[in-house]
């Protein structure tokens, strides 16, 4: 059978990725059910970020209840220092942080339940990270926690050289605690 143009096929669609780019690299949702209105909706989205430079920080991000998000993080290329902060007030680990190094050479994923802030620091240039996110994005419930809050005392393994202006202006743990 001869090849025919994709546009003449019934069913398949070619959809451009909606990419947000800045000096850090890019962030793009690979799958978002809002993009597939003709299909059965699914309760998750898939996103990737490319971090051009070693020392690029994304985070610490989370959403307030009832819009908490669960995430599954995978490093596809390069290496990241992945950090989570427990923001569940009833947890015995409330306010504590944990970390894992994920890399393309380390076949592990980090599953993060709702109620945790999440951030990752690129440990190599051209690092690509995949995010599978359960839950709807709600700008009104979206928050950022300061990566350098003295209370948290997160010990980043290399200096943070680049982050978004929004992440640089993130709230302290004391400020966030009042909203939980």
Q: Domain residue spans in the chain? A: 24-177
Per-residue confidence at 127, pLDDT binned at 50, 70, 90? very high
What CATH code would you report for 24-177? 2.60.120.10
* Residue 156: both structure tokens together: 């980043």
pTM of the model: 0.81
**What's residue 8's pLDDT?**
55
**What's residue 12's pLDDT?**
46
The percentage of the chain sitting over the pLDDT mark of 90, rounded to a whole number, equals: 62
**What's residue 75's pLDDT?**
93
- At 129-178, the pLDDT tens digits run 999 898 888 999 999 999 999 999 999 999 999 999 999 999 999 999 99
**What's residue 153's pLDDT?**
95
Tally of residues, the chain? 180
Per-residue confidence at 32, pLDDT binned at 50, 70, 90? low
**What's residue 45's pLDDT?**
85
The number of CA neighbours under 13 Å toward the Cβ of 145 is 32
The residue-averaged pLDDT of 105-128 equals: 92
Residue 70: pLDDT above 70? yes
Q: CA nearest 80: which of 10, 168, 174, 158?
A: 158
Per-residue confidence at 31, pLDDT binned at 50, 70, 90? low
How many angstroms separate the CA atoms of 82 and 119, rounded? 6
Active site residues: 61, 131
Query: Measuring CA to CA, how many Å separate 122 from each of 9, 70, 129, 156?
Result: 41, 21, 9, 11
């Amino acid at each position: 059978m001869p090849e025919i143009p994709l546009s003449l096929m019934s069913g398949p669609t070619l959809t451009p990725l909606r990419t947000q780019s800045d000096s850090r690299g890019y962030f793009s949702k690979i799958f978002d059910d809002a993009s597939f209105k003709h299909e059965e909706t699914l309760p998750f989205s898939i996103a990737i970020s490319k971090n051009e430079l070693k020392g690029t920080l994304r985070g610490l991000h989370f959403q307030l209840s009832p819009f908490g998000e669960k995430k599954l993080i995978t490093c596809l290329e390069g290496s990241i220092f992945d950090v989570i902060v427990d923001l569940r007030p009833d947890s015995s680990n409330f306010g504590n942080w944990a970390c894992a190094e994920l890399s393309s050479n380390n076949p592990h994923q980090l599953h993060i339940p709702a109620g945790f802030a999440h951030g990752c620091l690129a440990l190599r240039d051209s690092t690509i990270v995949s995010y599978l996110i359960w839950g709807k994005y709600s700008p009104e419930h979206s928050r950022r926690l300061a990566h350098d809050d003295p209370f948290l005392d997160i010990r980043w393994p290399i200096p943070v050289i680049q982050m978004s202006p929004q992440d640089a202006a993130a709230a302290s743990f004391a400020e966030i605690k009042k909203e939980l």
